[in-house]
Chains A and B, each alone.
Chain A
Amino acid sequence: MVFDDLRNYNESALNALTKAISTKKVIEKDNRPVNLNLLTINLPIIGLSSILHRISGLAVFICFPLLVWLLSISLESEKRFSDLQNSFQEMVLFKLVIFLIFVGFIYHLLAGVKKLLSEVFGFGETLKSGSLLSWTVFGLTFVMSFMVLFKIFNL
């Protein structure tokens, strides 16, 4: 008797549930929060260098049309070329923009080489050597950027 009741009860509960599911009543949107505030999560050097690799790549990519445009101006005529040269020598902002593009490019290039090294030859696959490689890339970028800085600003 009791079992029959129980079975009936289970069956009706199951039916109600099936109906609810088919009418999507119980399927609510998942509104549980997710902890993903990047400012609260610490980022080791390797992660930082990987993210900067992407950002610098994107930045250089976006600046590329600018460079092509400058090239096309310089190729128009001899006069345009020397005009461009003069404004480059006179405008600090112009120099600065070119310098920043250089920095982005140098970093992207070196980080790319690092990535190739680790993917092809398996360099930097431990935490230590990986961090060391990342620091090396930062250091080299710094040094090379300075060289470019001196060159551009005729220091």
Chain B
Amino acid sequence: MSQVIPVEQLKSLTMSIYRYDPSVDEKPYMQDIVIEVPTDKDIMVLDALHLAKDQEPSLSYRRSCREGVCGSDGMNINGKNGLACVTPLSEVVKRNKLTIRPMPGLPVVRDLIVDMKQFFDQLEKVKPYLITNSDNPEIERTQSPEEREELDGLYECILCGCCSTSCPSFWWNPDKFLGPAALLQSWRFIADSRDEATEERLDALEDSFSLYRCHGIMNCVSVCPKGLNPTEAISNIRNKLINREK
């Protein structure tokens, strides 16, 4: 497709992007790439990355849906984690500069792509699926509208990892502290009226690391692109842990 925007409606923006290619680079470095962005409309950080990639074809990042659904383009944008595809430039660009780094705390595979294994290992530990012991009912397991409402603000998580990788407790103990995303999912199934493994789920969180490493810093809440509140979920679980009869 040819360039449709007239030249006078463009202005340049300096992007500073974290680069690392394991096959050539000893160490990661920051590369400045100047792109031309339209002045008469807002574009997303992901669009800006595409423009940068036009100049530097080796620039790598994940993305798929480009509309905040798949959760693959979490990255650190001017110091704050977010999804590139739903973050408009007007919200983040400061002094005409846009700095992009991979999500903090996870090993970098290449450029903005991080290895999410630690993140998904922690998710797996909370068994993010319904567990039932009773016999299967004739029809599906039903919920009242009220019971279903309990899951609002929990089921929407797209597992982008923005929250856990902005959490200091997760940086220091990514193998022992489950992190906000996994804990939000844990609560999602504890709160589900159809789930029958609440006690087992709570048992698994009793130790001093899995959940109790959360210090309520709320970095997770401030970055979640879906507007979810893992801190609240964590304190709900904590209350359940404290109040349950042993």
Taking beta carbons and an 8 Å cutoff, which residues of A are in contact with B?
30, 32-36, 40-44, 46-47, 50-51, 115, 118-119, 122, 125-127, 130
Residues of B at the A interface (CB closer than 8 Å) are 18, 20, 22, 27-28, 76, 78-80, 99, 101-109, 114-115, 166, 168, 171, 215-219, 221-222, 229, 231-232, 235, 238
Give 3 nearest A-B pairs by CB, closest first.
Answer: A42-B79, A32-B107, A47-B217
Contact A47 B219 (CB under 8 A): yes
- When A47-B218, A50-B215 are in contact, do A35 and B101 touch as well, CB less than 8 Å? yes
Partner of A35, one of B102, B216, B222, B232: B102
Residues of B within 8 A of A119 (CB): 216, 235, 238
Q: Which residue of A lies closest to B224 (CB)?
A: A127
Chain A residues in 8 Å Cβ range of B168: 47, 51
B99 close to A32 (CB less than 8 A): no
Q: Report yes or no: A35 in contact with B76, Cβ–Cβ below 8 A.
A: yes
Query: Can you show 18 pairs from A to B with CB atoms below 8 A apart?
Result: A32-B108, A32-B115, A33-B108, A35-B18, A35-B76, A35-B103, A35-B104, A40-B101, A41-B79, A41-B166, A42-B80, A44-B218, A50-B215, A118-B216, A122-B235, A125-B216, A126-B232, A127-B222
CA of A118 to CA of B232, assembled, Å: 11
Determine the distance from Cα of A126 to Cα of B233 in the docked complex, in whole angstroms. 11
In this complex, what residue of A is CB-closest to B106? A34
Shortest Cβ distance from residue B122 to the other chain A in the assembled complex, whole angstroms = 17
Most A CB contacts (10 A, CB to CB) among B20, B76, B105, B231 go to B231
- In angstroms, Cα B219 to Cα A51, docked, is 12
- Give 20 new A-B contacts, CB below 8 A, not counting A34-B108, A118-B216: A32-B115, A34-B105, A35-B76, A35-B102, A35-B104, A36-B104, A40-B76, A41-B76, A41-B79, A41-B80, A42-B79, A42-B80, A44-B219, A44-B222, A47-B218, A115-B216, A118-B235, A122-B235, A125-B229, A127-B218
